[in-house]
Amino acid sequence: MLASSIPQRLLRTRLPLRLPSIYTCPRAPSRGSISVITTARTLLTQSKYSGPQEPALLHDTCHGYLSKIVKQHGDRTAVVSSHQSIRLTYDALDAQSSQLARGLARLGVTKGSRVTACLGNNAEFALLHYAVFKLGAILVPLNPAFTPAQVVAALRHLTSEWLVISAETNLPFKGPRSNVPLLETLVPGFEGRRKEAPYSGVQSEIVPSLRDVVMIDNSAGRIPQSTFGYFSAYEDVFADGAPSPLGGSGIDVDVHPDDICNIQFTSGTTAMPKAAALTHVNILNNGKFIGDRMRLTDDDVVVCPPPLFHCFGCVLGYSACMTHGSTIVFPSEAFDPTKALHAVQDERATALHGVPTMYLACLELIKHGKVKNEGFERLRTGIAAGTTVPIELMRKLHRELNLNDLTICYGMTETSPVTLMTFPDDPIDKRTSTVGRLLPHTQAKIVDTHDRTRVLPIGEKGELATAGYCLQKFYWNDPARTAEAMIDDEEGTRWMFTGDEAEMDADGFVKITGRIKDLIIRGGENIHPLEIENALFEHPSVAEVSVVGVPDERYGECVAAFILPTEGTTITKQEVREWVSQKLPRHMTPKYVFWIKDLEGGTLPKTASGKIQKFKLTDEGKKLLKEGRELD
């Protein structure tokens, strides 16, 4: 049905390829080829199935596997930090991360230490990633947008000993923000003080576990370097790890593949982020299988605007590239659509990653001539993830950015993160309406939201649960929420219950229909915001939209749509309602239409990774209603 609305040029050379539920696509020897292992089966009748069992799981550490890639591709470019004009080959990445590891070890970092990083996408973060792993320590990336209170809470929750932070934080569409106030909260009176000795550490009454702060000066002179004299300078720590004249790595730590290496805080689309403890096996295999399905090779150049502190940047971006000898490009510390598109052009990129809001911002720049529509001819693939991708956006990305092989991923921080993903060769309707099928060594089922033990028949909506190697070990220091989300079935399989509503078809393709908590229940009718958002995205005057439920005296809840008109166009609230009423049942027509420009800051509330925080949007809707702002 959807294929008829896709430009025919997309279909001429890509015949739909139907694969049974047991299938795999190892790294292809050349672009465009495919290797498939199949096992015959009948169509599913229950919404439960398992992914392929090949290729075998990698029982290695992230840095151990990197050493294998270095032997094959040492002279090839691994990391490009465009905004810093830094390029690292695989040899350099390995050598410099080992040097940083030795410097951190001299500072006191040991196996099991929690090293918290509050950084944007830069070369230092790329090196720190592997340096911490080589020491058997645990990297804890924090959202740079966290307030001082949130940073303190995270450090205390993890009893973190080390904080690596930049002088300034860069956030999307905002100017640099000094981190001096944050550091003053942690260590009052630090400004102007000097350490008694290079390794004497720091004292923090509010975070007693904190032993030292490692500073990266990215302020371009806006903050005097002497301000941070009480802390360790990154360049000094790095210099202290210089190789021994006698040779050898100087690092002798027994790190096991099942050791926790990364703690990721959930992204914050709900009010209570949790700390997911992930292992080397989790991250390494997830990155490998993602890259396999994208068909990444050592010729690929992947522009990655999503942040490294989030699983998207860390695993779908960095780990997937590092396990395939590909090049990853960081256009800017924080998302900047202009710099992202320029990086694609300058680096002759073959892939571009993003969440829907990032892609929308890029498309708007091209549409209005703010970035020339050229230099995108090598683009072929990328990943759209982080939240449900509207069908109309997929069509635009195929048409405008040449992302004909764009893949859709689904997952959650607690599952490392990806469990479901499309193939570039899946039927076009599946690539635009589902999140694909399972990655290797994972399982999925759709269960009754009121009885999690009951697996639903094919085609029925329920809660999605996933299982397999990818599941986190636990929520750090939070056994109650671990037990609530991770439940063993009668066969001893541990399942992660996602909180997402989904349905599965007879071929194992899964469609996400919304967050269960985001469902709008109007007079007993379940309304899925995504259906309304998809309808509105088809309107030429709608650039961005999000739909939520707000209280209603008569129906309990009703539909509210927040809309940003396309630049240079106008649309009235009545036109919005008429458009939806022509495409969907009457009860799904928005009762209230708000303009995004009227929100605080003139934008939708989002996490730093670009996900819309609908719980905040609901609160904004209530506030606007109270102020009488729903009227035309």
Closest CA to 348 of 73, 93, 77: 77
Q: Which residues pair with 310 in a beta bridge?
A: none
Top-ranked range on mean pLDDT: pick from 390-394, 576-580, 628-632: 576-580
* Separation of alpha carbons 484 and 421, rounded Å: 26
Could you give the angle at the alpha carbon of 494 between the alpha carbons of 489 and 497, nearest 5°? 90
- 360 vs 302, which has greater pLDDT? 302
Task: Work out the mean pLDDT of the chain and round it to a whole number.
Answer: 88
Share above pLDDT 90 across residues of the chain, in percent, rounded to a whole number: 71
DSSP 443-512: EEEEEETTEEEEEPBTT--EEEEEEETTS-SEETT-HHHHHHHEEE-TTS-EEEEEEEEEEE-TTS-EEE
Question: CB–CB of 343/349 below 8 Å?
Answer: yes
Give the C-alpha distances (Å, rounded to integers) separating 403 from 17, 377, 378, 398, 473.
18, 9, 9, 5, 35
Other CB atoms within 10 Å distance of the CB of residue 182: 21
Tokens (6 digits) for 71: 């032997």
Average of pLDDT values for 301-318?
Answer: 96
Q: Containing H/E element for 563?
A: strand 556-565
Closest CA to 104 of 202, 214, 186, 231: 214
What letter represents residue 601's amino acid? G
pLDDT in tens, 335-346: 999 999 999 999
pLDDT in tens, 128-140: 999 999 999 999 9
Q: Name the band, by pLDDT with cuts 50, 70 and 90, for residue 34.
A: very low
* b/e burial code for range 109-148 (CB count within 10 A of at least 16 → b): beeebbbbbbbbbbbbbbbbbbbbbbbbbbbbbbbbbbee
Half-sphere exposure of 333 (CA within 13 A, CB side): 24
Q: Name the band, by pLDDT with cuts 50, 70 and 90, for residue 614.
A: confident
| CA-CA-CA-CA dihedral for 24, 29, 34, 36, to nearest 10 | -40
Give Cα 199 distance to the centre of its chain. Answer: 36
What letter represents residue 272's amino acid? M
Average of pLDDT values for 473-499?
Answer: 95
What is the Rg, in whole angstroms, of the alpha carbon atoms belonging to the chain?
24
pLDDT value at 16 more than 90: no
pLDDT value at 182 more than 80: yes
Residue 294: phi and psi, rounded to 5, are: -75, -15
At 204 the three-state DSSP class reads coil
pLDDT at 244: 78
| pTM for the structure as a whole | 0.82
Q: Name the band, by pLDDT with cuts 50, 70 and 90, for residue 6.
A: very low
pLDDT in tens, 37-77: 333 456 899 999 999 999 999 999 999 999 999 999 999 99
Question: CB–CB of 476/492 below 8 Å?
Answer: no
pLDDT at 609: 63
pLDDT in tens, 360-396: 999 999 999 999 999 999 999 999 986 667 778 888 8
Tokens 């015949």 map to which residue?
15
Q: At what angle do helices 573-583 and 529-537 cross, to 10 degrees?
A: 110
Domains of the chain with bracketed CATH: 19-56+444-518 (2.30.38.10), 84-261 (3.40.50.980), 520-626 (3.30.300.30)
Average of pLDDT values for 589-612?
Answer: 86
pLDDT at 552: 84
Question: CB–CB of 446/464 below 8 Å?
Answer: yes
pLDDT at 630: 64
Provide the 8-state DSSP code for 92.
Answer: H
Q: % helix / strand / coil in the chain, to the nearest 5? A: 30, 25, 45
Q: Name the band, by pLDDT with cuts 50, 70 and 90, for residue 305.
A: very high
* Separation of alpha carbons 132 and 3, rounded Å: 47
pLDDT at 536: 94
pLDDT at 246: 66
pLDDT value at 599 more than 80: yes
Torsion over CA: 107, 113, 116, 122 (sign): positive
What letter represents residue 71's amino acid? K
pLDDT in tens, 76-124: 999 999 999 999 999 999 999 999 999 999 999 999 999 999 999 999 9
N-to-C CA span, the chain: 36
pLDDT in tens, 403-412: 999 999 999 9
Average of pLDDT values for 201-218?
Answer: 96
Half-sphere exposure of 622 (CA within 13 A, CB side): 12
pLDDT value at 7 more than 60: no
Closest CA to 324 of 58, 14, 3: 58
* Separation of alpha carbons 582 and 157, rounded Å: 51
Listed in sequence order, the residues at least 6 apart from 116 whose beta carbon sits closer than 8 Å to its beta carbon are 140, 141, 142, 154, 155, 158, 160, 162, 163, 164
pLDDT value at 27 more than 70: no
Question: CB–CB of 47/503 below 8 Å?
Answer: yes
Closest CA to 518 of 553, 546, 483: 546
Give the C-alpha distances (Å, rounded to integers) separating 13 from 110, 404, 425, 436.
53, 11, 10, 21
pLDDT at 37: 36
At 413 the three-state DSSP class reads helix
* Separation of alpha carbons 448 and 463, rounded Å: 6
pLDDT at 608: 64
* Separation of alpha carbons 57 and 280, rounded Å: 12
